[in-house]
Chains A and B, each alone.
Chain A
Amino acid sequence: MKLLQRLMKDKLAAASLCVVAATLLIGLCAPLIAPHPPNEVNMELRFSGASWGYWLGNDHLGRCILSRLIYGIRPSVLWVLAALGATAIIGAFLGFAAGYFRGKTDAVIMRICDVMLSFPGYVMTLAIVGIMGAGLTNILIAFVMMKWAWFARVFRTAVMQYADADYVKFARVLGIGHIGIMTRHIAPIALPEIAVISSGALGSMILQISGLSFLGLGIQAPHAEWGMMMNEARAVMFTRPELMLAPGLAIIVLVSAVNFLSDGLQKALDPKLMLSEKRAKAGAGVIPPRLSGKEVA
């Protein structure tokens, strides 16, 4: 909560947080907010401009662009967030295990991490989509497979840092079980840092998923997704450039908000982050994950 307070002092970060939160909310309540069903075809309204009934106009099938934009939040943002959550949980679990039990568990998990990290993320995503076929699910699976190792590393470092702390030793003496110690003492400390990494990864994941949809490797029709909407607009890019505008701006606004937020989080966390960053550097000359985890789609 302290983190949130500190974050709120940074006006830009606070505004970004509002944008992101609003987006999530709109996405969650899409059926309540969207003025029309997103897949309702109306060929009479093909390529119509903005009107009272359709604020952002209609696409090549006469569907309401605003409604599609709103429903597009779900795959573009919510599903990415869910994948990120799954990744964080897997990473956290393995990272905790490695850092807490040390020894062989640590060695095995870290070797697996090394292997996973040595595949460039974007390349692997493409490969998995290429072999298993196009589709949102496969992209999300690829994300989880490629990103968990980053989280595992961070959690391990965090655990290593705090497992030796006096209060954890104390708790152990008191006879509190492993899981108790993990959830009660170590998790809260590692969480802020995870928030920073996740928010950093979120921006690039949103860009990547829309990029893949744009290439036609992403989500299935007729579901709305921002990259897919741009792919559809691309065909008529020079006769009706305005169709590129809405989904493009939506992505830019959201991703910049996420990036500003991540930056704000980093600043709010600065003292602690510096510490762990030094450790990580001393580790094996690896760049702090929050930097390398980023790729631009």
Chain B
Amino acid sequence: MKRNRAAVLLAFLLVIVLLAGCGEGNNNKKASVEQAPELVYATAKDVNDMNPHLYPGSLAAQGIVYESLVENTPEGIKPQLAESWSISEDGKVYTFQLRKNVKFHDGEPFNAEAVKLNIEAVQRNAAKHAWIKLSSKLDNVVAIDEHTVQLKLKEPYYPTLLELSMTRPYVFLSPKDFLNGETKDGVAGYNGTGPYKLDEQVTEQFARFAANEQYWNGAPQVKTITAKVLPAGETTLLALQKGEVNFVFTDDRGADSIDVDAMQRLADSGDYQIVRSKSMNTKMIVANSSNAASPVSEKAVREAIWQSIDRETISRTIFNETETPAETLFSLNVNYADVGLQKRDYNPEAAAKLLEEAGWTKDGGAEVRTKDGRQLSIKLYYDVNSASQKTQAELLQSETTKIGMKLELVGEESPAIANRRSTGDYELLFNQTWGLAYDPQSTITAFATESAYRFTTSGIPQAEELYRKIDAVMVSTDEETRKALYKDILTIVHDEAVFIPITNGSVTVVAPSNLQGISFKQTQYELPFEQMRFE
């Protein structure tokens, strides 16, 4: 009997301890939602290598640790680490006056020597930076004095300041972190000049950033920012609900994974707010015009696809209006993009007529059109990790079936898709423009680049003219010629319908409702965390 009683007592105690344990955990979490002195944001991918001169790292994280000479803002290029600059008459020499009293996180001074060392380290790994044309135009860097640095180009290149403003590679790491004077084989530390410094990083779990109290532009208000690795989708949503994370934004590679309804519910609960940026980029389908064996090498087929995409419905149902219908490759707020291009509306009948006129006919009761014994069957590649791409592909497939075009959907991992794009082994694939900071110049440069959109553009009759104009626009020094050239370029690719726009994407932020000062940068990959504060 005694033993029995002891057992009961023990069991009772155990239950109490367990309950207490649970209760405690609960309270802690509640507290963190209410006071929230820090931001914990969910990221689908590990922050990874923070080396700013290579590409595996998270842009959002690198963006708060490192800074560039100048900053790209909606009002144009603004000073950042350079206080002012001047450009020589011939457009080949850029002279920067550096900000004084800026220190790297490890206390090293930021000066002309550091700029020279960093840029030269980047240049020695030029092959990896081929996408950024400045890397091939840059001739040398001279440190004139402690706070003056001069960049000399081989030929004039108008997007120089734009490319210097990008989050990588032309940003600055403390020279003490270099390995043997280089950054291309890894670095010893991640000390930048930015508003936050990397505090702790546990692979595949989290990375914590602490406010840089010595930041030249004033210490940021939010003292700690943690990037927590969570699988996208409902796991993130749950974590938000429970306060395990309190900040989410559509980061890298369009992690458009949170159900819009669920997001709205969170906002309705009063704990969270939703903030959306203006249009940042364009989601599109890219057609391989150079694939002679494929029907998409015909302009009529591409136009028919263009006209069978019901952008309104996609925007309304799939994105709940978080993304707006896109009628042209670049939205009108992109520089040089407002050139009055002809809209192609959603119109299945017109699409069918186009196909009919181009010789794609339905014989008898056939479901799929044919021409010279060939079926109108096209493969569309999408990223298996993107739920919205899959849904759009399925919708489009169902639409095109009605006009007698068979779309075969192939889902692949994003590296495989990138590989197809660069080797030309595709007919249609989903893609997106690079974002405001990169559009139009980087995206347009990529039209002609082998590994980017060369296969997309090289099949059109005006390809040579297009490439010539792209080369010309980048070295143009006169604003008017530049405008004219951009207009020609955009008109050619629009008329040929090789880039079929779907929607304009924006950045969506879900944040605690008492967080103020949420704003956006010119790219969908980063946020200015240093301007945020809790009320």
Contact = CB atoms under 8 A, between A and B. Distances in A.
Interface string A223-253: 0000000001011111100000000000000
A137 B391 CA distance: 22
Nearest to B408: A220
A284 interface: no
A297 interface: no
Given A41-B395, A43-B313, A46-B317, A238 B238 contact: yes
A38 B413 CA distance: 25
Given A39-B397, A43-B317, A43-B395, A237 B234 contact: yes
Contact of A221 (B313, B317, B385, B409): B409
B398 A239 contact: no
A127 B320 CA distance: 38
Given A216-B385, A222-B409, A234 B234 contact: yes
B313 A239 contact: no
Interface residues of B, number: 29
B397 A133 contact: no
Contact of A39 (B261, B385, B394, B413): B394
B238 A134 contact: no
Interface in B262-318: 262, 265, 313, 317
Given A60-B391, A235-B387, A220 B409 contact: yes
B387 A61 contact: no
A40 interface: yes
Contact of A222 (B233, B257, B262, B397): B397
Contacts, number: 64
Interface in B221-238: 233-234, 237-238
Contacts of A232: 387
Given A235-B259, A238-B234, A216 B384 contact: yes
A236 B391 contact: no
Contacts of B410: 220
Interface string B313-338: 10001000000000000000000000
B395 to A, nearest CB: 5
B393 interface: yes
Given A61-B394, A220-B409, A239 B261 contact: yes
A221 B261 contact: no
Interface of B: 233-234, 237-238, 257, 259, 261-262, 265, 313, 317, 382, 384-385, 387, 390-391, 393-395, 397-399, 409-413, 416
23 contacts: A39-B397, A41-B399, A43-B317, A43-B395, A60-B391, A61-B391, A133-B412, A216-B385, A220-B409, A221-B382, A221-B409, A222-B393, A222-B394, A222-B397, A222-B398, A232-B387, A234-B233, A234-B234, A235-B257, A237-B234, A238-B234, A238-B237, A239-B259
Given A39-B397, A61-B395, A222-B398, 12 more contacts: A41-B394, A41-B395, A46-B317, A61-B398, A134-B411, A216-B385, A234-B234, A235-B233, A236-B259, A236-B262, A239-B259, A239-B262
Interface of A: 39-41, 43, 46, 60-61, 133-134, 216-217, 220-222, 232, 234-239
